[in-house]
């Protein structure tokens, strides 16, 4: 499955759950919240088993924003990798 398909499916699921935000700023704040949760999973010598789940939450929230804003994340990621 490609990343844009995952973004679309996730967006549709979030929409069905009624969890979409009213502004991009609110959505980005939730990304930051997920980053905070991932940080908490790294407080010890090594990340906990939940760390991977928190990383997935971060990616899903970013993909949700991208789909909402009409951004082709596959295209943007490949362009950014090439630029770097």
pLDDT at 69: 96
pLDDT in tens, 1-57: 799 999 999 999 999 999 998 899 999 999 999 999 999 999 999 999 999 999 999
- CA dist 80 and 62 (Å) reads 15
pLDDT for the residue 1: 78
* pLDDT at residue 84 tops 90: yes
Answer positive or negative: Cα dihedral of 36, 44, 51, 62: positive
Task: Please give the domain boundaries of the chain with CATH numbers for all domains.
Answer: 3-83 (1.10.287)
Angle at CA 25, nearest 5°, toward 60 and 21?
60
């Amino acid at each position: 499955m490609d990343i844009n398909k995952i973004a679309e499916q996730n967006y549709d699921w979030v929409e069905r759950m009624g969890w979409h935000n009213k502004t991009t700023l609110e959505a980005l704040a939730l990304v930051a919240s997920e980053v905070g949760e991932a940080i908490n999973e790294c407080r010890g010598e090594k990340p906990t088993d939940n760390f991977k789940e928190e990383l997935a939450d971060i990616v899903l929230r970013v993909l949700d924003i991208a789909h909402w804003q009409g951004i082709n994340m596959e295209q943007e990621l490949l362009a950014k990798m090439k630029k770097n």
